[in-house]
Structure 1
Amino acid sequence: MTHATASKTAAGRFFEDFRIGETIRHATPRTLNAGDASLYSALYGTRFALQSADTFAKAIGYPESPIDDVLAFHVVFGKTVADVSLNAVANLGYAECRFVKAVYPGDTLTSTSEVIGLKENSNKQSGVVYVRSRGFNQHGDTVLDYVRWVMVRKRDHHSPAPDAVVPKLVEAVALADLGSACPAIERAAYDDTLSGSPNRFEDYVAGERIDHVDGITVEEAEHMIATRLYQNTAKVHFNQHSEGQGRFGRRLIYGGHVISLARALSFNGLANAFHIAAINGGRHVAPLFAGDTVFAWSEILETSVLPGRDDVGALRVRTVATKNRPCTDFPLREGDGYEPNVILDLDYWALAPRRP
């Protein structure tokens, strides 16, 4: 004889399950260690000296080599997926992302999200959910704070929509809010040979464009391993049985995978932009699939001296990633939209050492 019981499994939230002002506390705490950092390096080929060598990090003023900024972002983001975007159609963008405190091997990260915006789409089949997510370490200190918006399916296309609320977001994180995750840097000890480039903060000018030259082809196994590394459970990345019947006919690569690839590629030209201090805004312009090759280029939007600091300066960088298209001519816009091969448009602040 069988007995009907309440389901012990979770189907994830749909658009109509979100309420403005609610705060969601996410599972599962995650302790990061050197193994996670090594796997991240193996997946993307990142070469920034600070995140690669304890000796380099200690010489310039860090207690040890920190966890890569983007890895910390992905782990905080991954905690939110089961409660925010398990039933997502697409992750659309980011804003007001501040890297508040450095993350080191041995730190344990947790996440919360506050719902700050809701807007049903005109097709009545989905809606956009805006959340402000925060990552904390084991001491309760905020390490990361950001806004993202994601298109989420509706459970019932006929269910009434809430009043639309779209949050107003700043164009760029203020200079005064940058640098808290970066200790005082010993400029004289910063070895330009070991870092991979002689170019420091003073060598970059607004309007300068840099082709990062190299390309990286994405393999199916790599993007799935990467997404599992972050405990990101979004269905579109893993389940070919269901995605084969979807609009693309195959698994969609996590947008954050593209961010990491573009950041790794940017080493060739921005090797001394050693710390991402903030992400001002980001847009996943088009999907990426296994077999595609990613290229990237960057434009220096601003160069700014940080208030009260003479050791590092802030470079506002726009990094654009493409698929199957080298960036020698800096592809971006076409008519009122993007050039067809553009897949990522990311605006961020990176710190670079100043000259002694």
Structure 2
Amino acid sequence: MELFDVTIIGGGPAGLYSTFYSGLRHMKTKIIDAEDKLGGKLHVYPEKIIWDVGGLAPLTGQALIEQLTTQALTFKPTVILNEQVVSIEKTEDYFVLTNKAGEKHYSQTIIVAVGGGILKPKTLEIVGAERLDVENIHYTLTSLSYFKGRTVMISGGGNAAVDWANLLEPIAKKVMLTYRKSALKGHEQPVKQLLNSSVCYYPETEITRCVADGNRITAVELTDCQTEKTILKEVDDVVINHGYEKDASLIEETDLSLEREGEFFLKGNSLGETSVPGLFAAGDIISYEGKVNLILGCFQDAVNAVNQAKTYLNPEANARAMVSSHHTAFSDKNKEIRKQLTD
């Protein structure tokens, strides 16, 4: 049995920064993620330009994933991918984490950083879209350049759908947006941008049929939700954002007295403490007064959770870590960086 000081569940921004910071605090660290790659929900927006991360604006979601991952691996943590933790038990001395396959991990403390749970996009379940080999239905935008000169139908009316329409509008030949309600749900400014753009917006309509030629959809049928009249629109690609199915089984099936806030979140405090001693949380999964549900907020959550885990393990430890410029691990790295800057 290999026992870790801290195990971090979730590989999004909160989990990645927790991993880096626990290494900074000389903790033996493991990070576990259910996906096959680190980055979490940022993979929904790989090409979106992010402006609100301090000192890093602007950069794409993919660039932020790469930088966070590089930083997280600084102290060589153990990384476990493609494993979903489904339950946590607490013994007298440590926690036991069990994955779907029944395999176990052992840790003295835990930081839960799973956001709103594991996200699985809701698929388009209509006639013509049920085949697994249809290749031009997309549930995220992995490459904007792919859509250059193409006719794209986007289905959805939330933040992601609105953002995607705005991103594709100057790139695609034509962008259409169908939404079954009368008003878009996105943030005010992106919605205003979309409504003043060349995007063809079809409110109170929805896709009811896809026309396929081989393994590609060539047209979609839109049905008016009020009149039930239909129109057929030729397309090169269909992009779907109907929300996500959230898997909160970790919280639901764990036999611990975890106090919850709603269906998917843990009730805690600004220090990352939950109702279970030794189990901390960071990022969107934890709820407390004054919570900031932005990427920048999850970094402070991560720092506080790691500091609490450190002092839980060793009450004599400093409540705060040293600043990174004083850390011995960076001495040689800093010399290399200074040399690159002066060459």
TM-score normalized by structure 1? 0.21
Pick the structure with greater CA Rg. Answer: 2
TM-score normalized by structure 2? 0.22
